[in-house]
Amino acid sequence: MSVSIFRFGRRLGTSVRLPSDYRANRYWQPQVNEAFPDFTAITTRGTIKLKEWARGSWVYLMSHPAAFTPVCSTEIGELAKRTTEFEERNVRVLALTRDTVEQIGAWSRQIEDIYDVRITFPHVADPESVIGRACGLVSNEAEWNGRMCVRRTYLIDPDGIIRAIFEYPLAVGRSVDEALRTIDALQVAGQMGAFTPGDWKMGDPVLVGNGESTEGLKKRYGRHLRSLAPFLNFFDIRKPSAPAATDAAPASPASAWQSRGDTAPRVRAVPRPVRAIPMSNLLRLADPAPGRVPAHANVPAFGQLGDEMPKYHNS
């Protein structure tokens, strides 16, 4: 098979070998930190316009292969059971597939009977694949030959910006737990101007002070700072809050926020601001008990599930 060779790292000799026809066979895909395109579509709950429907909330947008398929049925059933967990985080759930609204409705009623749940979120019907082709949601897996949507999830913030993307092969169902964990991480990091470490869960310490001296961090965070290296500093969000990235940080501990129900101060998010969520709500979740297409849209993407991995070398 003929290939196209692109050389970017001339000093190190890095090159990538790609199929010569990849540009003709790939659709543009919205990426993290880009705006998800606004759209108007028919759903199981009437016609919606994405930005108006979101109304300043986060959006969990999931595309899936088809109605009346086993993996998708379990995913929709699980989402229906846990919709309130998304609502507690100010997240609205929206599903999308290539079936008609009548097919989706009949399938949804069966899922409600099987799982004894009520599906309260809308389901976009895209039988002509208008949204799917515009946003690169058509599957490249060989056995489906472009007839189904990919199993992909977008986490979109209240400004309409994509903050995270998950994609799974057709044979593997997605994890609601991981989606909720990532939403928690994005919201806490955004409020505190911090970062979350690997395998972080709500209530765990966060990483602070990227590029700031350890001495400066100690003055700001006091004894609640745990420094393992100049580039690795942890702060316990359950301890008294520091005036790190806030204009008027409270002096009371997080537990006091819980008891009073106060709202955490708005901070400058990294990399961009997000809608403030009451810190009492965020911390309570840790308790186990009780529009515009970017300028490069005409450049097709590559490297989707089901594709052969490009060959590269670094001489």
Per-residue pLDDT for 304 more than 60? no
Share of the chain above pLDDT 90, in %: 42
- For the chain, the structural domain boundaries read 26-174, 183-284
**pLDDT level of residue 150 (50, 70, 90 thresholds):** confident
Name which of 24-28, 30-34, 105-109, 172-176 the model is least confident about. 24-28
Q: Could you tell me whether strands 225-229 and 151-156 are parallel, antiparallel, or unpaired per DSSP bridges?
A: unpaired
* pLDDT value, residue 11: 60
* pLDDT value, residue 147: 65
**pLDDT level of residue 256 (50, 70, 90 thresholds):** very low
Per-residue pLDDT for 282 more than 50? no
pLDDT digits (tens, 9 = 90+) for 88-118: 999 999 999 989 999 999 999 999 999 999 9
Q: Are 126 and 292 in contact (CB under 8 A)?
A: no
Active site includes 135? no
Best CA proximity match to 299, nearest among 34, 91, 3, 109: 34
* pLDDT value, residue 149: 81
* pLDDT value, residue 266: 33
Q: Count H helices, E strands: the chain?
A: 9, 13
What's the chain's average pLDDT?
A: 75
pLDDT digits (tens, 9 = 90+) for 36-88: 989 899 999 999 999 999 989 999 999 998 999 999 999 999 999 999 999 99
- Which is catalytic among the residues 18, 72, 93, 254? 72
Name which of 31-35, 201-205, 209-213, 226-230 the model is least confident about. 209-213
Per-residue pLDDT for 248 more than 60? no
Task: Quote helix, strand, coil % in the chain, to nearest 5.
Answer: 30, 25, 50
Strand partners, 166: 153
Best CA proximity match to 208, nearest among 181, 182, 248, 241: 241
Fold designation for 26-174: Glutaredoxin (3.40.30)
What predicted TM-score, i.e. pTM, was given to this entire model?
Answer: 0.71
* pLDDT value, residue 175: 95
3-state secondary structure of 80: helix
